Amino acid sequence: MSVFPFKINYLLGKAILPAPKEKSSPLKKMVLQFGTGVSAKHFKRAVDRNRIKRITREAYRLQKPFLYELLHQKELQLAVFIIYTGRELPAHELVSEKIALILFRLSKEVNA
C-alpha cells in the first residue's frame, strides 16, 4: 500500500490469545505493532532521519486507539512498517494527515 510520501508494509493475522488463567501476558500487547524507517540515501544526516521518524511515531501514537479497538474486537493482530520515501523534510500537519489516511485504509482492510 502507498500513500505518498509513505510506503506501507503490513501483515494481518489471527491473534494468539493467552490462556484464561494467565493474568499478565506480553501477547496482549502484540495486537498492534508499529515501526518506521527513513532512507539514508535521501537524508544523509541522522538528525533529519530521526526527526522524520519522531514526527511519524507521534502522529501514529495519537491516532491509533480506534484501530487497536477494532483489532481487539475482531481478535486479529497487525504489524505495520511505514517507510518515508519523500525527499524533503515533512511538516507535522502533512505527516498527521497522511498517517490518518493510512490508518483509515488499514481499518478497511481489517473489516474486509
The CATH number assigned to the domain holding 100 equals 3.30.230
Model confidence at 80, pLDDT cuts 50, 70, 90, reads very high
**In whole angstroms, what is the distance from residue 96 CA to residue 71 CA?**
21
Q: Does residue 4 register a pLDDT over 70?
A: yes
Query: Nearest Cα to 97, choosing from 68, 65, 66, 56?
Result: 56
Q: Does residue 25 register a pLDDT over 70?
A: no
Domains contained in the chain, number: 1
Query: Worst-scoring range by mean pLDDT, 28-32, 63-67, 77-81?
Result: 28-32
Expressed as residue numbers, the domain containing 97 is 2-111
Q: Hey, is 41 helix, strand or coil?
A: coil
Burial (CB count <10 Å: 0-12, 13-18, 19+), residue 31 = buried
Query: Worst-scoring range by mean pLDDT, 15-19, 69-73, 78-82?
Result: 15-19
Please state the rounded mean pLDDT for residues 79-106: 96
Q: Does residue 41 register a pLDDT over 90?
A: yes
